[in-house]
Amino acid sequence: MKKLVLAAAFIVTGSFAMAQQVNPQDKKINREEMHKKMELKQQERIAEMQKELNLNDAQVAKIKNLQEKRKADMKAEFEKNKGERQAKMEKMKAKRLQMDNEMKSVLTPDQYDKWQVSRKAKMEERKAMMKERGMKHDRKMIAKPQSGTSI
């Protein structure tokens, strides 16, 4: 029975490890696709506003400038807080490592291995739920476009 559990644990761990491998090129492509989609959505929103509010070209240009300014401000804020975020991530990583070491001292090696497998499975489950939630949000956006004048 123990051998079966250990074999299952190794299979699950191995499959998670392989699933985590991401090609940097794919990441770059996904980022580029995301930026293109965002640009397209922004253009669609502006076109919708222009139609609904009967905006002239000067108003459209001013709205685009406002959006670009807002985007630049958000990017600057993101960069400003980057170091703080990284410090928080390192602190969380240290706490997780401490918890891991403490659990290792409490549990037997078999119990620890089972705990690790369970923890990784739960993490994957949460990731899948978050991904599904994001996909549902995208479907809602497609099915029911936003109305109003949000920028």
Alpha-carbon span 59 to 50, nearest angstrom:
9
Burial class (CB in 10 A: 0-12, 13-18, 19+), 29: exposed
Alpha-carbon span 119 to 139, nearest angstrom:
30
pLDDT of residue 105: 92
The residues, ordered by sequence, that sit 6+ positions from 110 with a Cβ below 8 Å of its Cβ are 2
Q: In the numeric block, which tokens belong to residue 34?
A: 């995301």
Per-residue model confidence as pLDDT tens digits over 116-147 = 999 999 999 999 998 888 776 666 555 555 54
Percentage of residues in the chain having pLDDT higher than 90? 48
Would the pTM count as exceeding 0.75?
no
Q: In the numeric block, which tokens belong to residue 114?
A: 């089972």
104 vs 21, residue with greater confidence:
104
pLDDT of residue 123: 92
